[in-house]
Homo-oligomer: A and B are copies of this chain.
Amino acid sequence: MKQERTIRVALLGAGSVGSQIARMLLTQRAEYQARCGADLELIGIAVRDVAAPRDVELPQQLLTADAAQLVAAADLVIEVMGGIEPARTLILQAIAGGADVVTANKALLAAHGPELHAAARAAGVQLSYEAAVAGAIPVLRPLLSSLVGDNVQRVMGIVNGSTNYILDSMHRAGKTAPEAMQIASELGYLEADPTLDVEGYDAAQKAAILARLAFHTELPADAVYREGITKVSAADVALAQENEQVIKLLAIIEKTVTAAGEPAVAARVYPALIPASHPLAAVHGGKNAIFVEAENAGELMFYGAGAGGAETASAVLGDVLSAARRMVGGGAPVDPPTHAVLHPLQMTDMTTSYQVRLAVSDAVAVVSELTTLCAAHQIAVVHVAERGSEVALTTVRALEVKQQRLVAEMAELPHVTEVLSVLRSEAVAA
């Protein structure tokens, strides 16, 4: 009798996400049984301090400080405590004990993904983590299953809501970066230490996870080039708007080849210019979106909430019920294949387009100097604009190392007083 299967669920963590998961498991139990054929019994919630005050009321008898004992009793473990330890040890314990695992822990997956996957493979259990990338938005499962017959060429994502909120405030409300950060902080969009968000570490972790699902390859998070948004100025935003462009912090993974012609992946996180008409340009506030380019499907976009307790819980429960269906129906877990060997490119070996803003002492003279310099570097200029003591130019796509050399020499030009800013442009076609 399918309907009588009971699955003992352990929940690790009762923060904003965990408490929503508990609420949904407790209130939707009968409906979930109708949907997945199993009775999901929440047998306990591991927390650091059983007596701590909580925003959402949870049944006191479910709370425990002994996570290891709870894990030992479970068929399925949900990990939403975050951080590397003790999450890693508890997940490995769950896997070794034969329990399926659902986690939202992007930092752990980015740092220890291969270890966790290998353990799950060896134990024959399902490891799922839809909530680890772009919160509520279904994107990992579509990449794993819906697009498994296609060849994904490029994924461009707005995967960090805090930084999108900040850049969007600068664009739409005319805020300066410090003002926008202050508001984001007051609204709870930023952690006490905002470095993980604003310096792009969080986005780089998500890029690494996306590469596994989209490109069937292992990609360490530290192989993702990373630049944050702290250098983006109000003047950069104003210039972007003049040119009908928008600045977004993008996580980009792209299939390419090395100089020697070997298959490679160009993975990077940086603030970049995109056309205002691009679907990603309309992603406002704290929302996330993943833009996918596939050989056959063409352009796809997945849009929604990238964070939030209930939103993230929705993605976790999707994984939980899917895992439950497999426990009821039997069969092997789905293990994302990683047979593809793609060499991670260094940033200097990637192909980029630059927008450079220069302070100049003589605009006419500088334009002439720039023309000569760019010609010498064999990098064409697609757009140049002068306004008073400022000149802005955009280069064609070329090797990043060549763009860097070009900018270094621009700084030495007789009539250039300062390089005000350098931004990469994803608006210039290859």
The answer to whether B318 touches A149, judged by C-beta atoms less than 8 angstroms apart, is yes
Shortest CB distance A240–B (Å): 19
Shortest Cβ distance from A331 into B: residue: B331
The answer to whether B303 touches A300, judged by C-beta atoms less than 8 angstroms apart, is yes
Query: Given contacts A34-B339, A302-B302, A321-B148, is CB(A314)–CB(B297) below 8 Å?
Result: yes
Query: Given contacts A148-B36, A331-B330, is CB(A304)–CB(B313) below 8 Å?
Result: no
Selected from B130, B151, B300, B330, the residue in CB contact (under 8 A) with A137 is B300
> Is A69 an interface residue when CB atoms closer than 8 A count as contact?
no
Size of the chain A interface, CB-CB below 8 angstroms = 58
What separation, in Å, do the CA atoms of A333 and B308 have in the docked complex? 33
- Specify which chain B residues have a CB less than 8 angstroms from the CB of A295 in the assembled complex: 310
Selected from B130, B146, B326, B339, the residue in CB contact (under 8 A) with A141 is B146
The answer to whether A304 touches B301, judged by C-beta atoms less than 8 angstroms apart, is yes
Per-residue contact bits, chain A 70-96, to B (CB 8 Å; 1 contact, 0 not): 000000000000000000000000000
Shortest CB distance A201–B (Å): 25
Shortest Cβ distance from A329 into B: residue: B332
What separation, in Å, do the CA atoms of A398 and B32 have in the docked complex? 34
Query: Given contacts A32-B149, A35-B216, A331-B326, is CB(A296)–CB(B313) below 8 Å?
Result: yes
Chain A residues 306 to 328 lying within 8 A of chain B, measured CB to CB, are: 308, 310-311, 313-318, 320-322, 325-326, 328
Given A147-B318, A148-B317, 12 other A-B residues pairs in contact with their CB atoms under 8 A: A35-B216, A141-B141, A141-B142, A147-B314, A149-B313, A279-B282, A294-B314, A296-B310, A296-B317, A298-B305, A302-B302, A331-B331
